[in-house]
Chain A
Amino acid sequence: MPDADIIELLSPAVLARIDNYALLARTVVDGVLSGLHRSLLQGYGSEFFQYRDYVPGDDLKYLDWKAFARRDRYYIKLFQEETNMNCCFVLDASASMSYRGDRAPCTKLRYASMLVACLAYVSRRQGDRVGFYAYNEGLTSAVRPGTRTGHLHRVLVEIARVRAAGCARHDVVLGQVAEDLRRRGVIVLVSDFLGAEEKLAQWLRRFRFAGHECVVVQVLDPDELDFPFSGSIKFHDAEDGVEVVTAPEVVADSYRRDMERFSGRLRLAALEQGADYLQACTTDNLGRLLAAYLHRRGTRH
């Protein structure tokens, strides 16, 4: 198990200072996550990749008993996907993703970008074909899945170029992405999904029918979760410019209820379509978050 201090180094406050996404992903994945998970994708025909120390909870079928007999230490055998699957990341770059609360070390977009970079690094290291799409009112970045040398670098550069602006037109863009991805694989949707709870199930169903496995990552600012404001505030919507003057102390409870209901609907829609749902707060430790998710995913598979 990695040292707790090292895990702290993966807090968004630290990672947000790293501009280079390649370095960031390597730091997260190679430094901390290796050993914490099995693999993002584990299909049939996997071949031996490397050893790692045993971690309580690991499936004992991967324990190398011969190595234990020789060295008197537990090693887990890691296998690499051989099928060269697609792993495609779809990042919401609408204006709402630019929000950064007083307690958050970075914007939602930055946090989502870091998360995508790390997962892309993991996927690429497993030999998957990594693709990347960013969108708001339309597609702003599109890197189709590929395996060529430097493809990951291209993906990371595109991630770094993403800027938040405009409204998110999920239905249009996700339709384009679905058209673009012919080969089955994993699609990771990263967004706050504001206003998408109605149609998320529909989109996920479409991806599922096309043979894709979906992961829904909802990125939120802590302010959006607990609504900690006070006094008299005029709120401007980041995307459509709607203004609401309110007393937060008065409406905080109803807000939290609505936000919980919204997240619950997203989670329910994801679960109904067999997709993973992950809610990430921009103050969450990225290492812990990814480790926990990958571990959970590994045990499920």
Chain B
Amino acid sequence: MLSFVHPWFLLALAGLAVPVALHLMERERPLERVFPSVRFIRPAGLPQEGGRRRLRDLFLLLLRLLFMAALILAFARPVWRFRGAGGGSGAGAVPTVFLLDLSASMNVARAVPTARARIESWLRTHPGQPAGLVASKGRSVETVPLSADHSGLRAALSKLAPGLSRGRHAAALGQAVAMLRAVPAGRLVVFSDFQETDWQDAALRSPGPGIGLDLVNVDPDYTRNVGVLRATARLLGHRKVRVTVSMQNYGFQVETRTVEVRIGSARSSVRAEIAPGAVVRKTFVLPKTDSTVGTATLDPDAYTPDDRFVFWSGPVPAVPILIAAPFETEPAKRAEMFFLRKALEAVPEGGIAEFKVEAVDVSQFFALNLEAADAVFLLGALERFQTAELQMLRQYLDNGGTVFCTPGAGTALLFKVLQTSGLASLEFRGIVGQHRRADALPFTLGWVDPESPVGRLFSGERQTDLFLFAVRRYARFKAGPGVHVILKTEQGDPALVEAAVGRGRLFVSAFAFEPGWSDFPLSASFLPFLRELLADGTGEGRSRIRRLECGARAALPSTLLGEQPPAGRRKDARIDTDRPGAFSVQGIPFEVNVSRLESTVRRAELDVLRARWAAGVAPSGRTAVSGEASRGSASLRRGREFRGLLAWAAAVFFLLEMVVAGLPRAAGGGGKTGH
């Protein structure tokens, strides 16, 4: 079967008419002449010279046509597949599988009806031809097996409607290809809007030999869309709620839209102009109501699922904080834990607890579920970690966790562990003030990085408090590359440093937060300092509200100690992600909304997609090496591509044309002089 990788290049074959037309226009026509003695003139053909010239011209025309045709075909990349007809032989009997994209973006008004109409039209014109259907709805796939009886397919087709899930088509593609592998040759027709986010980087396994591939964009003209990107609510005292709504214009022209925020009976709206590709934020202050669910709604456009965002407007649970310390061997760490808990669990006036502190002994650390904590305080604990705990910590940091380390009894060992485990490049130089006299003047902090969150917090009058508390002793170390110094003592030694580890951050303090090391926990700066660092490190509310996409799998988070919800409560605790909504499950608020990746109007390049698909390219650009794909690639190699041959042929035709065009010039000149 002959197929083309870039069949649209074949349209250029129409250009072959140009040299033919030029040849016809410029061919030698007989001159017309009025003559008196025509009766003595006998009709005759062209002389031999003219005949030769005509032959030469025809040969030149042929060479030029062959050159152009070879060049065009080389660009179209014809491929001859030896096995299977792939629609080439007896196209009327080729089994066809329709893959219908039913992701959220197909909710655009014309998309699914267009696809359905085209499939039904095909069924009408191909009665008795085996046809199957694969509907891709996010992770779920509905299939109608290949059958010459189209009634089942028609019935399934009439019931299909676009979902609200993000497009994940790998499973559906696998199903479709599997259906076609059972037949020697087949055709796969994909109906989709080919959103860039769904298809551009999708893992596309080669459909294999003998399978023709058609990509049909059902809504190529869809270029305008504005959606609510996110909405967050935050309580302002007892009576008000502040809602921040972010809207994004995904289209290519300026849009003016009205956004309305509603929480219970309270509502407010505003009109906003959004430039193409821009994100605009609008803030609303609404009276607090009993409702815990709010909506931010735009006036509807062609794609409505992203015009509404459901958000949680109720109270949010406290951020879980874990404190691990050798409480049994270092009683002083209990005091440090006491100060930390006191500072973190303090409830602001009219507010709710923002942090929830769990303290465990370092010996139990290996059994903890670190993912349940937004931040971990290791109070003289890190130097006691074994390899397993260090791996846990490393993984936690890689996943975006925040860890605070304070020195304990084995300060030198702490820095050695940090150094050897690769967590932070800190070179320990000793403990300053360990052997000073009791009446000696304490150390103080002398510098704060003004660009750090802490620096911004303590700019102004409160700065004096931060630099007034006494530091009795501190670990002196030198910060290596990749370590950012936030605080320094007045001696210029680092007092608090930050190192990025994976997606997480590791803070190392030169002194512990207990009176044996410093008066910092007794100072007024301690509480804002700690909260600011945590707010910056944990991302405000990052883990307090679980944001899910429609169709995504979701499970209740386990507790810090790795406990799952009791079996009896699991049914009640089912998290419904089928449709947008906001709810609380076991005290954890969830927001479910349609994936905003479905909002883009950008389309994947179909020719690139087709080529990648034919070659079986993985998202990273590597050729798929899975078993099936490998078999497909091997089969593809059994197909023969003529691009190189055609390129050579074009070159040969071009050279021949040059030679033939040059040769008769001399011959023609001789003929004329002879004449």
Contact = CB atoms under 8 A, between A and B. Distances in A.
Contact of B38 (A192, A230, A236, A254): A236
> Which bracket fits the contact residues of A?
35 or more
Contacts of B45: 247, 250
Interface string B28-71: 11111111111111111111001000000000000000000000
Given A249-B47, A254-B42, A234 B31 contact: yes
Contacts of A249: 47, 675
A224 B41 CA distance: 10
Contacts, number: 94
The majority secondary structure among interface residues of chain A is mixed
Nearest to A257: B40
Contact of B37 (A97, A194, A246): A194
Given A231-B28, A236-B34, A250-B47, 17 more contacts: A192-B36, A194-B37, A194-B39, A224-B37, A227-B41, A230-B675, A231-B30, A232-B28, A233-B30, A234-B33, A236-B33, A244-B42, A246-B44, A247-B45, A247-B47, A250-B45, A255-B40
24 contacts: A96-B36, A108-B36, A227-B41, A231-B31, A232-B29, A232-B30, A232-B31, A233-B30, A233-B33, A234-B30, A234-B33, A236-B32, A237-B35, A237-B39, A238-B35, A244-B41, A244-B43, A246-B42, A246-B44, A249-B47, A249-B675, A251-B42, A251-B44, A255-B40
Contacts of A238: 34-36, 38
A159 B45 CA distance: 42
B41 A246 contact: yes
Interface string A230-268: 111111111100101111011100110011001000000
A221 interface: yes
B671 to A, nearest CB: 11
Interface residues of B, number: 22
B50 to A, nearest CB: 6
B675 A262 contact: no
Contacts of A250: 44-45, 47
A195 B40 CA distance: 11
Contacts of A192: 36
Contacts of A209: none
Given A233-B31, A236-B33, A246 B43 contact: yes
B78 to A, nearest CB: 42
Interface in B212-226: none
A99 interface: yes
Interface string B646-670: 0000000000000000000000000
B36 A262 contact: no
A229 B29 CA distance: 15
B566 to A, nearest CB: 104
Given A244-B42, A250-B45, A258-B40, A235 B50 contact: no
Contact of A259 (B30, B37, B43, B675): B37
The 8 A-B pairs with the shortest beta carbon distances in the complex, nearest first, are: A96-B36, A237-B38, A232-B30, A258-B40, A250-B44, A234-B30, A246-B44, A235-B35
A97 B46 CA distance: 29
Contacts of B28: 231-232
Contacts of A227: 41
A235 B33 contact: yes
B369 to A, nearest CB: 98
B47 A235 contact: no
B35 to A, nearest CB: 5
A232 B46 contact: yes
Interface in A1-30: none
Nearest to A232: B30
A249 B42 CA distance: 11
Interface string A131-160: 000000000000000000000000000000
Interface in B104-142: none
Nearest to A108: B36
Given A233-B31, A233-B33, A235-B33, A247 B41 contact: no
A259 B44 CA distance: 18
Contacts of A195: 39
Given A232-B28, A247-B50, A249-B47, A99 B36 contact: yes
